[in-house]
Amino acid sequence: MTTMTDAPASTEVRRGRLRLSGVRKVLGGKEVVSAVDLETEPGEFLTLLGPSGCGKTTTLNMIAGHLAADGGLIEVDGRDITTVPPHRRSMGMVFQSYALFPHLTIADNVAFGLRMRKVGAAERRRRVADMLELVGLDGMAGRHPRQLSGGQQQRAALARALVIQPDLLLLDEPFSNLDAQLRVRLRDEVAALQRRIGTTAILVTHDQEEALAVSDRIAVMAGGVIHQLDRPQEIYLRPATDFVAQFIGEVNALDGTALGGGACEIAGRTVAATPAGEPPAKGAAVRVYVRPEVVRVGHDGDGLRGTVRETRFLGSRIRCVVATPAGEVTAALPYDAAVPQEGEEVTCTWRPSDASLAARA
């Protein structure tokens, strides 16, 4: 099977700038999306990441037009589409259930959007064939959806969404019905294909690893608002809120008092981190977020002092837990690090640029 990445590069003009301003949605008397602002670059891969019920799928459905916004503005390339019905928007959407039409062949599924656009038969056939080849489904054209594996159905759904050359590619948890291995392979293929074609993509997922792996930027959502919208590295290393820090990966959250700038005092020691947003005023209660991967355990430098409580070899990393006056600090050390003994007195340090600092509520 040809993989999606073998596809020829597209010469598509870059378009697909999506803008949401103050978009709101009330469902069943509850505000599930509150004043969401968002703007994509053309060709960007943007992910809405959050737990179920955070409003990400509702937001996507408003972008697609399946739900009406109760407030705010949705624009694509400067055109206001807030009240445009879905069939007059140009969005290619891939659903969690794939939503292939069960009574149509794969070719007819892919051709559906072209038929609706009254594309001539010859061109339609050509574009369908090209697209099926692009997603590695050539030879499956005559089959029905139920005769395909989950991964193949996913590719067919992607082909159906892309063949209409949409303004935006909307992906609603598209990989969550696949098994773990296939999920990783397909998401990488989709990301590669998206970059090649250059269509702006909006992915909705609750899987933080998936979001980190494929996105140009991630909008972390909870309770109907965007907590942080930034590049994956920023989101990971410098979470802006407690929610972002806790939702993505493992984090050391250390409470202290601001000393101005990025400096703060934790349990009598002075440490530094990068403030998320405006640096908190001197004396304010702050919290420092440090990922285990960036923590170094040694005997020099300014950092938190403590006693090694346990070390565990985990294969890819060595996990080291240090009991400090500010609480336990977990470090994930590389395999060749000098591993401290349990009971040893150590100092935990990190580069200020690898940790973030935010006001504590």
Partner 1 sequence: MTRLTRLLGAAFATLVGLFLIAPVAVTVASSLTATSYVTFPPQGLTLRWYGEVLAKPEFLSSFALSAGVALAAAALSAVVGLAGGLAIHRHRFPGRAALEAVLSSAFAVPTIVLGIGLLQWFAQMGLASSPFTLLLAHLVLTVPYAVRLVLAGLSGLDRSAEKAAAGLGAPPFLVFWHVTLPAVRGALIGGAFFAFITSFDDLTVALFVVTTDLQTLPVRIFNYMQYDYDPTVTAIGTLMVLFAVIAVVVIERFVGVAKLFGADTQERS
Partner 2 sequence: MAAVGRLAGGARLSRPRWRTGLLLALPAIVIFAALFVAPLFTLVANSFRTQTGAFTLGNYARFLGDPFYRDVLWNTLKVAALTTAGCLLVGYPFALYMRARSPRVRNRLALLLLSPLLISMVIRAYGWLVVLGPNGPVASAFQALGLTPPQLLYNDTAVLIGMVHVMLAYMVLPLMGSLDRIDPTLVPAAKGLGASGWTCFWRITLPLSAPGMLAGAMIVFSLTASSFVTPAILGGPKVKLMPYFVYTQATTTLDWPYAAAIGFVLVVVTTGLLLGYSRLLRRGNGEVVFG
Q: Which does 27 bind (CB under 5 to 8 A by kind): partner 2, partner 1, none?
A: partner 2
Residue type, 231: R
Angular region, 53: left φ>0, alpha ψ -120 to 50, beta rest: left
| Of positions 25, 89, 287, 296, contacts partner 1 by CB under 8 A | 89
Contact assessment for residue 194 and residue 169, using Cβ atoms and an 8 Å cutoff: yes
Nearer CB in complex with partner 1: 164/191: 164
For residues 162 to 201, the per-residue mask of contacts with partner 1, x marking binding by CB under 8 A and - elsewhere, is: --x-----x-------------------------------
Q: Which of 25, 337, 40, 314 is nearest to 169 (CA)?
A: 40
Q: Which of 309, 307, 299, 311 is nearest to 347 (CA)?
A: 299
Q: Is 84 in the site for partner 1 (CB under 8 A)?
A: no
Q: Dihedral, CA atoms, 200, 12, 153, 218, nearest 10 degrees?
A: -20
Nearer CB in complex with partner 2: 48/67: 67
Contact assessment for residue 220 and residue 49, using Cβ atoms and an 8 Å cutoff: yes
Altogether, the residues listed in the chain come to a count of 361
Q: Which does 93 bind (CB under 5 to 8 A by kind): partner 1, partner 2, none?
A: partner 1
**DSSP three-state, residue 211:** helix
H/E run at residue 274: strand 274-275
Q: Is 92 in the site for partner 1 (CB under 8 A)?
A: yes
| Residue 339: DSSP 8-state | P
| Of positions 15, 24, 66, 269, contacts partner 1 by CB under 8 A | 66
Tokens of 296: 């170094």
Tell me the window of 79-87, 95-103, 145-153, 228-236 that interacts with partner 2 (CB under 8 A). 79-87
Q: Which of residues 58-77 bind partner 2 (CB under 8 A)?
A: 65-69
Tell me the window of 2-10, 86-94, 259-267, 330-338 that interacts with partner 1 (CB under 8 A). 86-94
Distance (Å, rounded) from C-alpha 152 to C-alpha 296? 44
Q: Which does 68 bind (CB under 5 to 8 A by kind): partner 2, partner 1, none?
A: partner 2
Q: Which does 314 bind (CB under 5 to 8 A by kind): partner 1, partner 2, none?
A: none
Which positions touch partner 2 (CB under 8 A)? Answer: 27, 65-69, 83-87
Which positions touch partner 1 (CB under 8 A)? Answer: 64-66, 85-93, 95-97, 99-103, 112-113, 116-117, 157, 160-161, 164, 170
